[in-house]
Amino acid sequence: MGDVIAPNLAELRAFAARLRVVSADGDAGLGIDLLDAIETLKSVGCAVQAVITDDVATRIRADRKAAGLPRADWDRGIPSQIALARRESPNRGGRHLGFAQALVHEMPHTLAMLQTGRLNEWRATLLVRETACLSAQDRGIVDRRLCSDPATLDGVGDRGLIAQAKALAVELDAAAVVARHRKAVSERRVTTRPAPDSMAYLSVLMPVEQAVCLQATLGRDADSLIATGNSGGRTRNQLMVDLLFERGTGASVASGVPVAVNLVLSDETLLAGGHEAAQLQGFGPVPAGIARRLVADAVGSNTEMSLRRVYSCPQSGALTAMESQSRTFPKSLRKLIDVRDQTCRTPWCDAPIRHHDHIRSRRKRGSTSVHNGSGLCEACNYAKEGDGWTARPVHNPGGTHLIDLGTPTGHHYRSAAPPLPDPAHLRAS
């Protein structure tokens, strides 16, 4: 390794351009060899990213310490900078940073296997995850016993790797494993994420005994409805979902959704059979037919609903105004920003909006206006307040709302608000 000369940035980019045109030319054997070589390349790249990530974080902390900043500010915004460079969310940036620090400072054998392509990023992540509750010393023991000899994990699947790491963790520090379980129980939660075909996944993180009990109860009651002829033609899986909804909301599936949702659709889609997709806040695009059915179901039930006019530019789809039902301006402004931005405005972060932020801060005479406002998640808002960060709204005539975000290293990223649904005939003209 001592005789190898590291490529510079221009050489790396040139190599990436050359890699784009690699082809097996119909040779299956060569294709397999190329897949193997590229998989090794990916692992090596991951290892290099980890080392550089740790180096970047160490340098930023040292600079801030030397500048006399409070200790609480030394780490502020570092995960966000890493995330922007990797085109990922700040949450993932934090994971990458933790992963890098664990490999560089506590798991040298795992890092070495990654650097030689004997371990891929996901499997290295599993090792880091399963040893997170251990002290640095005990983590180093697991690292040495599992990764000092590459043959130890050869042919071992992900489940086997997890099992070995867990077994060693319990052997070295059972109390830490128990404490980690208690912490995991305290972090139980319910989340949703989009699924194909206008569906969604409802995920519940809960103790395993509760999860098994819940599934068994839903299955038992679904089987009972089928056996007594009360299934209404629904399958067992469909019945389990409907039972979960009814017991969780206190309403039947047919009575509508008993909580507020923001469904944004064009007048043509709602009233004239248009095909432009609607936007469901917190989910994303919804086909026009399904959006009309949601509205029709709500109108035909006891579900309370209201209609609010939202005005967008016919050419760009940019939100320009919203009819207000409230005399309190800040509340209406927050709603306007929520409808316009939909999710956190930091590039590649699609977390829910938690804070309504002045893009140009009030300390710098930033106005409280829709042009100078943005929706951010909590983490991104706090990161933006760190030393060296800048943000400004960009004048974008005829286009959607635009923000320029600058990081302490001098890199700049643009964030454009998503266009609102417009009638299809306007987009086609």
Task: Quote the pLDDT of residue 259.
Answer: 43
Report the relative pairing of strands 319-322 and 310-312 from DSSP bridges: antiparallel
- Range with the poorest average pLDDT among 34-48, 248-262, 331-345: 248-262
Q: What is the pLDDT of residues 139-181, one digit of tens each?
A: 999 999 999 999 999 989 999 999 999 999 989 988 888 888 8
Q: For 267-306, what is each residue's pLDDT tens digit? A: 666 666 667 777 776 666 777 777 777 666 665 555 555 5
Average pLDDT over residues 21-33: 93
300-317 average pLDDT score = 57
As a whole number, the mean pLDDT across the chain is 84
Mean pLDDT of 64-80: 92
**Does the predicted TM-score (pTM) go above 0.75?**
no
Residue percentage of the chain with pLDDT more than 90? 48
* pLDDT for position 162: 92
- Residue 198 tokens, joined: 């206008």
Question: In whole angstroms, what is the distance from residue 96 CA to residue 90 CA?
Answer: 10
Integer angstrom CA distances of residue 356 from 84, 195, 325, 409 = 21, 28, 19, 25
**CA 395 to CA 41: how far, in whole Å?**
42
pLDDT at 412 exceeding the cut of 50: yes
**pLDDT tens digits, one per residue of 197-222:** 878 899 999 888 788 888 889 999 99
The 8 Å CB, 24+ separation contacts for 406-415 are 407/77, 407/80, 407/81, 407/84, 408/60, 408/77, 408/81, 409/81, 411/81, 411/84, 411/85, 413/84, 413/347, 414/347, 415/345, 415/346, 415/347, 415/374
Task: Give the pLDDT of residue 337.
Answer: 87
For 369-385, what is the mean pLDDT?
88
More confident residue, 373 or 108: 108
Is pLDDT above 80 for 131?
yes
User: With contact defined as beta carbons under 8 Å apart, do 190 and 204 qualify?
Assistant: yes
Q: What is the pLDDT of residue 20?
A: 92
Phi then psi for residue 194, to 5 deg, are: -65, 150
More confident call, 251 vs 35: 35
